[in-house]
Amino acid sequence: MESESESLPTARPVVILVEDEADLAAMSRDYLAREGFRVLPAADVRTGLRLVDSEEPDLVVLDLGLPDGNGLDLLRGLRGRDNPLPVIVVTGRGEEADRVVGLELGADDYLVKPYSLRELAARIRAVLRRSKPPAPPPTAIRVGGLEIDTGAREVRRAGEPIALTPREYGLIEFLASAPGQTFSREQLLDHVWGSSSRWQAATTVDEHVYRIRRKLVAAGVTVPKITTVRGFGYRLDS
């Protein structure tokens, strides 16, 4: 039987692990190394930023509770530089607010402690696959009052861009590719997140839909709208 690490590219992906719990950091580093990753540990925000600047990482795993500040400061700093580096945030069970803020700031995924090392490796692989898709030819999807520029990965109304996170953009682009078709939360997790409800809560989809709706309303968009199909999922109605 092939190991999961055999599906990785020949070059070892570089992961910066920002985690101040020494035992967890050591176990994670050793496990991920066996799975084919090169892991650079950092115990605080300052070291994490230094490694991002000095190395060429493929992804950051970022604990939000750090001794020299909230990990959100590091994430905010990366996105303030318009840095596309994929980030998986790690939170405790009671830190839903931080989780939501992390997604708002552009985190690609999140994990809730305690988590299994196998799940950590699976999430990293999924995010890396999503972060390096083949570049599609520039094209535009027009639905109602929206223009979705798939080349620029931008959504516009009347020529004005609507600020969406990468995951929000992926969700609305996927729904717009088949207006009127209803997709389950499981299908959306699969196509947009490259995940499933085994690894990720289906409520992740609900959180993203809620934020997209708010942004469309703020931009004056009435059509199209994301319609909830109770007990199942969502569709885009134009």
Give pLDDT tens digits along the chain (238 positions): 444 444 444 478 999 999 999 999 999 999 999 999 999 999 998 899 899 999 989 999 999 888 887 788 888 888 777 668 899 998 876 667 877 888 888 889 988 888 899 999 999 999 998 887 665 565 889 999 999 998 889 999 999 999 999 999 999 999 999 999 999 999 999 899 987 777 788 899 999 999 999 999 999 999 999 999 998 999 999 8
- For residues 53 and 146, state if they share a domain: no
Specify the pLDDT at position 173. 95
- For residues 28 and 67, state if they share a domain: yes
- For residues 110 and 185, state if they share a domain: no
Quick one: tokens of 50?
């230094």
Domain that holds residue 28: 4-131
- For residues 114 and 228, state if they share a domain: no
Q: For the packed helices 203-218 and 166-176, what is the interaxial angle rounded to 10 degrees?
A: 90
DSSP bridge partners of 148:
141, 155
- For residues 15 and 127, state if they share a domain: yes
Which of 73, 108, 131 is the endpoint of a domain?
131
Query: Per the structure, how many domains does the chain have?
Result: 2
- For residues 230 and 159, state if they share a domain: yes
Measure the CA dihedral 214/142/167/54, to 10°: -120
Specify the pLDDT at position 5. 44
Which of 109, 131, 153 is the endpoint of a domain?
131
- For residues 102 and 150, state if they share a domain: no
- For residues 59 and 9, state if they share a domain: yes
Q: What is the CATH number of the domain that holds 29?
A: 3.40.50.2300
- What distance in Å separates the CA atoms of residue 49 and residue 43, rounded to the nearest whole number? 11
Nearest to 178 by CA among 148, 216, 213, 217: 148
Q: Within 10 A of 175 (CB to CB), how many other CB atoms are there?
A: 28
Which of 112, 131, 150 is the endpoint of a domain?
131
Specify the pLDDT at position 94. 62
